[in-house]
């Protein structure tokens, strides 16, 4: 499953996310306390078209850039539960219920690109 974030400006910039990154990113976004619970719920499903307005998008980009990225550094990633690791993603698919959380993480580079997208967007929709 994948997600496409489409800028609401006339340029229609797009940003792509796979489910492995997006699930962790949603949790990061949730902890920044910018987006409402209802929108967050919709953002976790692809093709909803939920709109993130320009002020929310810009604040999201700023907070990721200023608060999250400094904790990660280019060699780290963050899991959906908020823990940070410097172990590279070896693409192992964890199937046991108690280890499935390890399947979802997002790294510094991806979050930086997402932050940049948010900051230059005029708001976006999630498809």
What does residue 84 show for φ and ψ, rounded to 5 degrees? Answer: -115, 140
The answer to whether residue 101 scores a pLDDT higher than 80 is: no
Question: pLDDT, tens digit, for every residue of 18-68?
Answer: 998 999 999 999 999 999 999 999 999 989 999 999 999 999 999 999 999
pLDDT score, position 8? 95
Q: How far apart are CA 67 and CA 72, in angstroms?
A: 10
Kindly report the pTM of this predicted structure: 0.90
Segments making up each domain of the chain, as ranges:
2-126
Question: pLDDT, tens digit, for every residue of 58-85?
Answer: 999 999 999 999 999 888 999 988 899 8
């Amino acid at each position: 499953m994948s997600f496409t974030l489409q800028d609401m400006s006339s340029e229609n910039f797009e940003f792509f996310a796979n489910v492995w990154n997006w699930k962790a990113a949603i949790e990061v976004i949730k902890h920044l306390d910018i987006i409402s619970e209802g929108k967050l719920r919709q953002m976790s499903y692809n093709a909803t078209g939920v709109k993130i307005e320009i002020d929310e998008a810009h604040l999201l980009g700023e907070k990721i850039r200023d608060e999250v990225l400094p904790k990660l550094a280019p060699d780290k990633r963050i899991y959906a539960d908020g823990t940070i690791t410097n172990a590279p993603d070896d693409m192992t698919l964890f199937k046991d219920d108690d280890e499935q959380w390890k399947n979802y993480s997002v790294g510094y580079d991806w979050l930086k690109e997402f932050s940049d997208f948010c900051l230059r967007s005029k708001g976006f929709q999630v498809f």
